[in-house]
Amino acid sequence: MDELLDGSDVIETVRITAKTIVECVPYPLGMGFEGEVLSLNQKAKNILGNYSLSSLPRGVGQDTKSFYLRVGHEKTVFVQLIPLPKKHFLLILEEFTEEATRDNLTGLLSRHHLNLVGSRMLEHADKTGKVAIFFMDLDGFKEVNDTFGHESGDLVLKGVAERLLRSLRNTDLCFRWGGDEFLIISPGFREKVHAGLLARRIIKAISEPFSAKGHIVKVGVSVGIAVYPDDGEDLFDLIRKADSAMYQAKQHGGNMYMYHSKTE
């Protein structure tokens, strides 16, 4: 669960003052494991000057950590620390709004984060590793809405989000793309075929029955996979290719995964 912290707690945790965080929103900062600045937007650098985070929580390079920083009575900043290869991590700072930061229904990251976070994850991908993009669309979800109503459908979407998060590693990021579509960015694969293992785990988790307002309902999920750098190096091109592969999975009966094919 994300924590809501006040300014003094954040100073102790990441050694940046509340004023600095607010002034740097929404610039992502690349940090080294020891806290040195690796890359910084020039405007943010002008604000910050030369500094380092001299004291970081143990394990910050291994787990994704996020919390909210309350600044005064009206402003809240969302702070997220995301691990990257080679003991680096990414520090994301942005002003918090429900609509921009999190999907209201599921609590997953919203599409607003994609350009900010996803491209940075590709840029920092280990040379010997790969980043998999999973594009997912539920099978049979329209029938759930038509038969049991939208309230039941919303409960199923919440349940799907919870199962997706339980299926992922700490380094994976999960977004709600919209409707009954979801997106996952998963770094650190040595071989492209290994992404299929995660896809199988996701399909198995989603295929288990859901309980919604006294009804037992079942949905499936079609998954398309595109992999950086094998299938391309641009984030949104990779998403398009994963989306296309997902439709191929649906055309083959659904509740399965397919990789992007260069013949598409």
Q: What is the pLDDT of residue 243?
A: 97
Mean predicted confidence (pLDDT) in 235-260 = 96
Q: What is the pLDDT of residue 93?
A: 62
- Say if residue 86 is in the same domain as residue 194: no
Judge whether 236 and 177 are in contact, CB under 8 Å. no
Does 71 reside within a domain?
yes
Q: How does pLDDT run across 35-56, given as a tens digit for each residue? A: 455 555 555 555 444 444 443 4
Q: How does pLDDT run across 156-194, given as a tens digit for each residue? A: 999 999 999 999 987 788 999 999 999 999 988 888 889
Q: What is the CATH number of the domain that holds 219?
A: 3.30.70.270
To 5 degrees, how large is the angle CA 58–CA 62–CA 63? Answer: 90
What 3-state DSSP class applies to 247?
A: helix
Longest Cα pair distance anywhere in the chain, in angstroms?
60
| Residue 2 falls in which region: left (phi positive, over 0), alpha (psi -120 to 50) or beta | beta
Judge whether 24 and 94 are in contact, CB under 8 Å. no
Known catalytic residues?
A: 180
Does 119 reside within a domain?
no
- Say if residue 149 is in the same domain as residue 250: yes
Residues 6+ away with beta carbon under 8 Å from 56: 14, 15, 33, 35
- Say if residue 235 is in the same domain as residue 146: yes
Does 142 reside within a domain?
yes
Does 140 reside within a domain?
yes
Pull the structure tokens for residue 104.
Answer: 């209201």
Q: In DSSP terms, which residues pair with 259 in a beta bridge?
A: 225
Q: Residue 132's pLDDT band (boundaries 50, 70, 90)? A: very high
Mean predicted confidence (pLDDT) in 235-264 = 93
* Overall number of domains in the chain: 2
Average of per-residue pLDDT values in the chain: 76
Q: Please check the confidence at residue 244 and state whether its pLDDT lies above 90.
A: yes
Among 24-28, 55-59, 193-197, the range with the most confident prediction by mean pLDDT is 193-197
Q: What is the pLDDT of residue 120?
A: 72
- What domain range is 77 assigned to? 3-96
Q: What is the pLDDT of residue 88?
A: 63
Pull the structure tokens for residue 44.
Answer: 């943010």
Residue at a domain's end among 70, 96, 122: 96
Q: What is the pLDDT of residue 176?
A: 93
Does 157 reside within a domain?
yes
